[in-house]
Every structure is written in structure tokens, then in C-alpha cells.
Amino acid sequence: MASTPPDLSTEERADAQTILARLSRRGTEFLGSRYAIMGGAMSWLSERHLVSALSNAGGFGVIACGSMGPAQLDAEIGGTLALTGRPFGVNLITMHPQLSDLIEVCGRRRVSHVALAGGVPNAASIARLKALGAKVLAFAPALAIAKRLVRAGVDALVIEGMEAGGHIGPVATGVLVQEILPGIPDVPIFVAGGIGRGEAMAMYLGAGAAGVQMGTRFVCATECIAHAAFKKAFLRASAREAVPSVQLDARFPVIPVRAVGNKGTDSFLEVQRDVIGRFSRGELAQNEAQLAIEHFWAGALRRAAIDGDVEFGSVMAGQSIGLVIREQSVPEIIAELVEQAVMAIGVRRRVEAGATGGG
């Protein structure tokens, strides 16, 4: 039977809180938040209500622009500003056909932080955002790309492992941390993928991260607009049920998407078979076939997350889904994460003191 961690004394708790604040300082100063906890940008779900709740609770909310047009993004930023006076960011997809217009919207709205995702951003986009006064974050799936992004002028990096939900890379979070953190001292680095408890947050902060990014953990927040059936699917699922999608044909590369396996997962295989067949018969050009495959996910996610079709829709989730065990408010989740981190630091300090004969 697992033992219960000992309670910390008042002095031990104060010491652990001081250490957590010190370890988080680079991240909190960069974000302008109380805690170095960024919300992952989840399409359809990271909108004004969840984003403002995260920022109001001391974390840092990030709007998922996804496929929004400029007018939609402008309205979403305005709606968020009406709900919080705290800093928040916007996540833009680099492949968006109106990326330049979306950047200008962020500039007009004086968005303080913009994350460029979905590919390596070009230098012009980075430079324009910085000229508009925004701090720019980008995602680095390897050390070489991290160095390239820093040279291009990004202000911070996010390294996201394959344990994350949605579109994922091939490398685990723990490996990326070991590869990238020691090699990039220049900018703050936020770690994402598979983080569901404060102990993991404390561990990555101790390894040199500026903070963490978490998405799956906040899906079952009361402030999240996800459909009740979508949340129920999260509460029922275990880590091993969140699996990556399968690619059928190397001519049509599929960026793996991690989601809870269901009939929708099987449907994606059928979509690939159908599209590949149409391409082989000359009915589709290769780029049209590739787009047809990719477009599956946007609609499938909305069907599950917003409409509640968790049987045929895409229940995108990271492997930390097994750590989501009840619906809670965002302030409760943030407080729980911080308490777990404080406890982990305090217990470690007690062990270290005992090993050295300290009091």
C-alpha cells in the first residue's frame, strides 16, 4: 500500500514555496503571470472563457486561433479582454493562409504574447510580431530547430513531447528536455506533453525549464466549454487509451494525432484509404489528396468537443488524460498543481537535509 507523504512544517512549506517561486521566476517574469503555467492552445476549447479563467487564476491562458479568420480572432480577443485584465496570449498556425492578417489583429489588440505553431515560422512573421510589441514563442521539436528559432529572434520556446494531445512529434518529453534544455540557455523554455501533476512541473523547473504548458489537464475545468460527453470521455479514459493515429501511405505523410481510440479513429483509416484510392485513379492531385486527409481532423474534433459525438468525433487528448479524474474549476486545478509542486520540493529538501545531517 502506498505511503502518504508527510505533512510539511510551516518552515518547510515556506522554504518550498520560496524555491518554487525562484525556479519559476524566469517564466513568470516572461509571461507576467503569478505561476509559470501556460494553457495549451486547444482548438475550439481554448477560447475566451477558459483563457480568461486561466489568467485570472494566476496561470497564463492562450487563445487557440486555429482556422479562425481575422474578424473571428479579433472578436475572441475582445471577448477575452472583457473577462480578464491579466496577460494572455494567442496561438497562430503558421500555415494559415491569412497569417499576416492575423498577426496584424494581434498587433492592433496589443496582444502581449503570440505563439507560432504548426511548423517552423519564417523570420518575417517573427520580426513583424516583435515590431508590433509582442513576445514571440515557437515550438522546437529538436535542438537544431531550437537554435535556428533563437537565431531568428523568438523570445521563448515550447518543447512538446509525443505524450501530448492533438498533433504530436515523434520524441518523448523527457528526451527533448535532456536534448534541448542544456543546449539553449538564451531564452525561456516551457515544457509540454504528458504533464498532469505538480510533481512533474517541479521536476522540469528543477531541470532548468522556465515553466510548463498543459492542455489535457484543463479540458474538464468547469470553465471549459467542452461538451459534457467530451468531458465524460476524459474522466473515463486511461493513459493507454490515448493513442496516435496511423499513416497508411508514405506518399501522404500524416502528422500523428493523439486521441482516445474510437470509431472516429477507424474512420480516419477509411478516409485515408478512400483518398489514396481516388488519387490512384487520377481523381485527385497529390496536394488535394493531402489536404483532404488533413481536413478530417478539424471537423472531427469539433464534432466531439463541441457537439458531443465522442463515438465518431476525435477525442484529442494527451496521455495525461488518466490523471484527469474529476471536473474542477480552473482556480482549484491551479491550486492543486501548485500544492503538489510545493509538497514535492519540500519532501525532497527534507530528504536532502537528512542525508547531510541538517536540521
Could you tell me if 14 and 132 lie in one domain? yes
Question: In terms of domains, do 211 and 127 share one?
Answer: yes
Shared domain check, 96 and 43 = yes
- What is the C-alpha end-to-end distance of the chain, expressed in Å? 29
**In contact, 192 and 320? CB cutoff 8 Å:** no
Q: Give the predicted TM-score (pTM) of the model.
A: 0.93
Q: Spell out a b/e string for 317-343, using b for 16 or more CB atoms within 10 Å of the CB, else e.
A: bbbbbbbbeebbebbebbbebbebbbb
- Let me know whether 345 and 290 are in one domain: no
Each residue's pLDDT, cut to its tens digit, for the chain (359 residues) gives: 444 556 899 999 999 999 999 999 999 999 999 999 999 999 999 999 999 999 999 999 999 999 899 999 999 999 999 999 999 999 999 989 999 999 999 999 999 999 999 889 999 999 999 999 999 999 999 999 999 999 999 999 999 999 999 989 899 999 999 999 999 999 999 999 999 999 999 999 999 999 999 999 999 999 999 999 999 999 999 999 999 988 888 887 777 889 999 998 888 888 888 988 988 999 988 878 777 777 777 688 999 999 999 999 999 999 999 999 999 999 999 999 999 999 999 999 999 988 766 55
Q: Are residues 66 and 130 in the same domain?
A: yes
306 and 333 in a single domain? The answer is no
CB 67 within 8 A of CB 248: no
* Burial class of 355 by CB neighbour count within 10 A (0 to 12, 13 to 18, 19+): exposed
Q: Which domain holds residue 83?
A: 10-226+325-350
Q: Are residues 139 and 268 in the same domain?
A: no
255 and 275 housed in the same domain: yes
Residues 137, 40 contacting (CB under 8 angstroms): no
Counted domains in the chain: 2
Residue 200 grid cell? 512533474
CATH number at residue 340: 3.20.20.70
- For residues 133 and 266, membership in a common domain is answered with no
Residue 3, domain member (yes or no): no
| 310 domain-assigned | yes
